[in-house]
Structure 1
Amino acid sequence: MSETKYTKDHEWVRTEGDVATVGITDYAQAQLGDVVFVDLPGVGRTFAAGESLGEIESTKSVGELIAPAAGEVVEVNDEVAGDPTLVNSGAEGAGWLVKLRFSEQPELLDEAAYRELTA
């Protein structure tokens, strides 16, 4: 398993080969509250860095899933689409959201830098 990195938009990224698995962090899901709906992009969709890839709706608010870098969606977590509560019970595990193939390198934070951001 690759090392987990983070974005300033409160997403985690784990890259294996040329594919990165992306989800929201435990911190982000705790801030959102109970997730009730997840809108994920279609496989094959291309995107620019910073573009919204989808929405995560909770009982408190609606948040966006932001692309860490330009690329293409290669897989979505259909289980989360069917059961959004997986984001709350396993945000950094079974609650992953999308798998992306980046066409550029994302600017990511290591765990220490992310902890400092959320402190």
Structure 2
Amino acid sequence: MLAVINDSEHVLSYSEIKGEIGKVCSRVTLYRVLERLEQEGVMYKIADVDGTFRFGSQSPKDNNTSYVHFSCVACRNVTKLKEDHVTFSSLSKHQVHFSQITMAGICPQFKKSTQT
């Protein structure tokens, strides 16, 4: 299961993970394993623009609590962007523990496929 998440170019929804692993485990077991992996810090969970939870890999040693993603409204893929830290000058006096930013639009792959 972790290999499916690690090998993906996108952060995956529960149903996408279930589709990849097939009938290896029950729905309840899959949810429990995903929750456990998140608690152990080997993956993280975000909500996409539709409210669907998606799962991405991270190193347990990674203390990054800021995630920036792009959600394609056409192909429905959600991609973790390379930018792993976003700052806002208006938050300079705040102690931020976690941030999740998801931008939405048309991804380059979908745009390119529609121009041919």
Which of the five TM-score ranges fits, normalised by the shorter chain? under 0.3
Query: Bigger relative contact order, structure 1 or 2, given CA contacts below 8 A and separation 6+?
Result: 1
What is the TM-score with the length of structure 2 in the denominator?
0.28
Richer in strand (by share): 1
What is the TM-score with the length of structure 1 in the denominator?
0.27
